[in-house]
Structure 1
Amino acid sequence: MIDHRLQTLRVLRERGTVTATAEALHLTPSTVSQQLRQLARDLGVELLEAQGRRVRLTAAAHTVLRHADVLSAQWERARADLAGHRAGTSGRLRFCAVSSALAALVAPAAARLRERHPGLAVHMSEKESEDAAHLLLARHCDIAVVIPSEQTPAPGDARFAQSPVLDEPQDLLVPAGHPLAGHAVARLADAAAQPWIGSPGRPDQHQLMLAACAAAGYTPRIAHEANEWFAVSALVARGFGVGLVPRLAPLPPGDDVVRVPLHGEAVPSRRIVAIVRRGSEEQPPIARGLEALREAAAR
């Protein structure tokens, strides 16, 4: 119902290059270029400017995109209204999520949907948070479960609707036999003198650790670095340091490590958020998916 070339322009804004846009939309770069030239000709304005090997959106293009975002949101609402005339218990719902949220939240939510609505086909994929925007815009995903960062859509982004799913606390990970291992809870300040395992490859997690320790009154001494939870766990188990792990992060069985819940003023946590295309949250399959996520988080 809405000119498909506007969607091509919206994806180009997100992906930055004609080649990346073509890949996201499963088109050839020449088809994308042709669509945008035709759209510019029909609108009577220039949409793109050459910038080396890349292209830059003109001021006119940004004006077109503001209207395209409104049109897209209104079309999503129209689809929701039309879906209200149907039972809404069949169709397809696609989740993408970071690994820990996929395992602890999305999978249980999908199982609940399968029990309640067997005609609703649910597809799940593990994706990084920074991929959420283009996956939603390219319609490869309906609900993205992410950890907010500078690379995810801002809360006020008019293209998306966002809702918090869970505030996930962080646990202190120590080796078995450590003085803190027998404690029911600990303060982050109790680990001030310990060597730490940093995770620079997970910027959001690493910055959370640094900020939490700073709030507890010290800068952690980073002795070693590891990004995957099984690697962090292995280093902690062998006494190379302590670390922070999200409550939902799975750890390999058999490692001699202990999770110690934190309490006090400097208790770090990370927010997990569900993002959908604005206006689509009223479509029955997506509304049911969001409800199932909230139920999984409550459990």
Structure 2
Amino acid sequence: MLRVVRQQGTVTAAAEALHLTPSAVSHHLRELARELKVPLLEPHGRRVRLTPAGRLLIEHADALLARWEEAQAELESYRAGMTGPLRIAGFTTAISGLIAPAAGWLRHSHPGLLVQVRECDTEQSMDLLVAGEVDLAVVEPIEGGPPPDDARFEQSPLLEEPYVMLVPGGHRLAGAVSVRLEDAAAEDWIVADADTCDHAQRVRMLCAAAGFSPRIVHAATHWSAVWSLVGNGLGVSLIPRLAEGPAGQAVARVPVAGENMPTRRILSCMRRGSRRNPLISLGIGALEEAVRHHQSLDDWPRSAA
């Protein structure tokens, strides 16, 4: 509970994440402080924060929990056969491009393994890992997210995903082997809505590095909407290679080349100490197989031109 309070900033938010009442969380934390004979929380504006004693306790708790995950992984290896559940969380394009194919392969190769998939953004995936509600997550680095050496998690690179230019089917760039961002400097641009992800900011930064400011005309909430807008000739977009759109749209995905080919880093993430759990190892292996499959496709960019 103390770890979740630190992460959420209020007892109320922590209680919601833990599916408990605020009074129950407050009671347990008061009892913990009384038992340890040190204050663990202190007011900080409208929120609460850990006292130095609370932070020290968390450091030890992280180490203990990592050892507990290792113990569970060791015990799991003695189980006969592979049974579930294996709970995997990830953001939208990670599910469509990596998690869903991986879950499908596991279903056929290990019929006794129950794979449960949950769509959520990276921040929520981390919260679910901390709360023990998922076992494995596919995430991307985010501002304010946990650093690589965070004691709670083990984060490993899974994929350097390239961005590709999405253009209407009859566009002058549609048949190109590759394009540079500056080739579309005079085009109308379409981006994902700023309230759903940082796509618009990323497009602006990448275009600025290429020497121009994009004329952003349309914003959409989902990749399928971006896809439809491009397919109807309303502009071009820069999309992650894993993003998919509705069938039947007249669009072309063109690899982006250049000295600084735009990419997005995708990570696997689990609670520290749990990697040796055979079910999680199976999940990681299936995700890596999905990565290899995508990288073998003809329209996957190989290198900067």
TM-score (norm 1): 0.92
- How much does 1:88 deviate? 5.3
Please tell me whether residue 244 in structure 1 is matched to residue 244 in structure 2.
no
Instruction: Choose from 185, 208, 213 the match for 1:214.
Output: 208
- How much does 1:55 deviate? 2.1
Instruction: Choose from 121, 128, 132 the match for 1:128.
Output: 121
> How many pairs align?
292
- Paired position in structure 2 for 1:28: 21
- How much does 1:154 deviate? 1.8
- How much does 1:91 deviate? 3.0
Q: 5+ residue gaps in structure 1?
A: 1-7
Q: Which amino acid aligns with 1:189?
A: E
- How much does 1:224 deviate? 2.3
- How much does 1:18 deviate? 1.2
Q: Which amino acid aligns with 1:63?
A: L
Please tell me whether residue 90 in structure 1 is matched to residue 54 in structure 2.
no
Task: Say which SS state the counterpart of residue 115 (structure 2) adopts.
Answer: strand
Distance 2:270 2:278 in 1: 13
Task: Say which SS state the counterpart of residue 155 (structure 2) adopts.
Answer: strand
Distance 1:262 1:166 in 2: 17
Q: Which amino acid aligns with 2:132?
A: R
Deviations 1:117-151 (A, max 9, x none): 22221111111111121100111111111122114
Q: Structure 1's 217 and 88: CA in aligned 2 closer, same or farther, altered over 3 A?
A: farther
- How much does 1:233 deviate? 2.0
- Paired position in structure 2 for 1:180: 173
Deviations 1:65-100 (A, max 9, x none): 111111111111111122232235123110011111
- Paired position in structure 2 for 1:263: 257
8 Å contact 1:161–1:278 — kept in the other structure?
yes
Deviations 1:203-236 (A, max 9, x none): 4322322222122222212222223112212322
Distance 1:251 1:70 in 2: 43
Q: 5+ residue gaps in structure 2?
A: 294-305
Distance 1:121 1:176 in 2: 41
Identity %: 53
Query: Runs ≥4 in structure 1, deviation > 6 angstroms?
Result: none
Distance 1:212 1:32 in 2: 45
Distance 1:243 1:276 in 2: 33
Task: Say which SS state the counterpart of residue 174 (structure 1) adopts.
Answer: strand
Q: Which amino acid aligns with 1:14?
A: Q
TM-score (norm 2): 0.90
Distance 2:142 2:132 in 1: 22
Bigger mean CA deviation after superposition, 95-104 or 214-223: 214-223
Distance 1:85 1:234 in 2: 51
8 Å contact 2:228–2:245 — kept in the other structure?
no
CA-atom RMSD, angstroms?
1.6
Please tell me whether residue 295 in structure 1 is matched to residue 280 in structure 2.
no
- Paired position in structure 2 for 1:169: 162
